[in-house]
Amino acid sequence: MILRDATAADAAALESFDLGGQPSAWLDEVAEIVAGLVAWQHDQDHTELDRRVIVAEVDGAVVAVTAHERVEHDVLGPLAEHCYVMVVAVCADHRRSGVGAVLFESALAEMQREGVLTASWLVHPANLGSAAFSRTSFPDADELYPPDDRPDARFTLRL
């Protein structure tokens, strides 16, 4: 497995990324996010957020992706010490292989080396796999249901 920053050449693979599963509102949202990650990363209006997209490649194919950016405070602007994880997605035929955990843990370790203190992400309550992954892989993460994120749970991990 190779972990690397996504490039423009990955756009087609991310646009056709196979999440599997039955169609649902949250799965459709994840698919939409993944499909637009290359453009999201290179959005010139948000360069100060230091957006990163990292892919896991196996046998030349992109099989998992994660993306994060700095949290932006309404008054203070981007906060270098706090990141929001936009997505962690693993294609259907590589789930439960450990690739998602390795990718996410590597991204978190890199954030920590860069001085990030907290990483947060949202999980829809119907996304049982993602909720189980978050609770099992990151038991120290705080799981909250803040009113502004309903119905999603917000996980916050202190790095």
pLDDT in tens, 15-48: 999 998 788 888 889 999 999 999 999 999 999 9
Query: What was the pLDDT predicted at 23?
Result: 81
Q: Provide the mean pLDDT of the chain.
A: 93
pLDDT for 82 beyond 90: yes
Other CB atoms within 10 A of residue 105 CB: 13
- Write the CB contacts of 110 (distance below 8 Å, at least 6 apart in sequence): none
Residue 148 is predicted with a pLDDT of: 81
pLDDT of residue 126: 82
| Number of Cβ atoms within 10 Å of the Cβ of 60 | 6
Distance CA 43, CA 37 (A): 10
Identify the pLDDT of residue 26.
81
| Structural fold of domain 2-158 | Aminopeptidase (3.40.630)
Share of the chain above pLDDT 90, in %: 82
Asked whether the predicted pLDDT for residue 8 surpasses 90, the reply is: yes
Question: Beta strand 118-123 with 153-158: parallel, antiparallel or unpaired?
Answer: antiparallel
Q: Can you give the pLDDT at residue 84?
A: 97
Domain ranges across the chain: 2-158
For the cut 90, the answer to whether the pLDDT of residue 155 exceeds it is yes
**How does residue 4 score in pLDDT terms, banded at 50, 70 and 90?**
very high
pLDDT over 90 (residue 127): no
N- to C-terminal Cα separation, the chain: 24
With 90 as the cut, is the pLDDT of residue 140 above it? Answer: yes
User: What's the pLDDT at 25?
Assistant: 81
Structure tokens at 154: 């917000």
DSSP string, the chain: -EEEE--GGGHHHHHT----S---HHHHHHHHHHHTHHHHHT-GGGGGG--EEEEEEETTEEEEEEEEEEEEETTTEEEEEEEEEEEEEE-GGGTTSSHHHHHHHHHHHHHHHTT--EEEEEE-TT-HHHHHHHHHH-TTSEEE--GGGTTSEEEEEE-
pLDDT at 22 (0 to 100): 80
| Residue linked to tokens 């259907």 | 92
Per-residue confidence (pLDDT) for residue 21, from 0 to 100: 78
